[in-house]
Structure 1
Amino acid sequence: MSTENDHEPVFVRSKWGTNRYVYNPRNPVGVALIVLSLLFAAGAMYSLRASSQWSEDELRDAVHRAAGTLDGSPQRKYDWTGHSDYSSLIDDAIRKTGVGPRFGARVSEVGDETHLYEIGSDDTEDVHCMTITEIPGPKTDAVSWEVHLDVSVEDHGCEEPER
């Protein structure tokens, strides 16, 4: 029992003016390869999308790990710097945890000189409040000293303290 497409090749030259070979839709193996290629491309696109967004658990885990890394870490302070903004330090610590995507966490300081930071992302509604307290150490020279950070995290938004 012979059919017409018993002798159809799996690959045929493209009819679009190039010398490329393409899958032959008249061959059952060619049809299977076309379907498998489409399924593979759809799976790859879904995987890329899923790995580029924060989940609530990933954000919570990254914020708590970053707080653990920063807690007790020494920082150098200088007389002329005034108020320290730790936003970039927190952002770097979150990235270094390796949890979630490498971008998209939003760190913003609440208030003027309170060292309260709200951490969230556009992908989740969760917001975490990180509090940093500076514990001053001895002055190392005429213009600088070392401070150690005491870091805590609460799993809700920050409220600016009343003055």
Structure 2
Amino acid sequence: MKPQQDRPDLESRAMPDDHHDLRLWLRLLTCCNLVEGELRSRLRTEFATTLPRFDLMAQLLRAPAGMKMSELSRHMMVTNGNITGITDQLEKEGLVERLKVATDRRSSLIRLTGKGKRHFKKMAESHEQWVQDIFGGLSEKSRRNLFEALGELKLLAHTRLPERN
């Protein structure tokens, strides 16, 4: 990732006298946005695709028999409408196919085609390398500590925060 010290980010909104937890939240959010932005940019420039398309194909790779639109929507935490639009595009490109469900005429299973699997595997290899490049500047100890700290935060968030639907 390119250094972006000269551009304001969410963390720059924090004031030195703001509560440390607020500053921590803004730093975490800024880091997430920077990493996600870099991955989105690389997917766009190197594969002419988007992160949502990549994510949908990743879900389908894990379900070789296919998934219903509602399952994809739930796994990706987006609306069925978003899934339908992405699926329509990928189907036109021959990367996914719709299969009718014999027991439910209203439902279809979406699955990767052979072409889709080959294309996704190329993207996934690059994506993995990009993530390694981004985090590679951290020492192994720092990566491990960050992973463990975020695991604690995730557990706390699951146990302390009310579940939202």
Give the structure-1-normalised TM-score. Answer: 0.22
Q: Indicate the structure with greater strand content.
A: 1
Q: Indicate the structure with greater helix content.
A: 2
Give the structure-2-normalised TM-score. Answer: 0.22
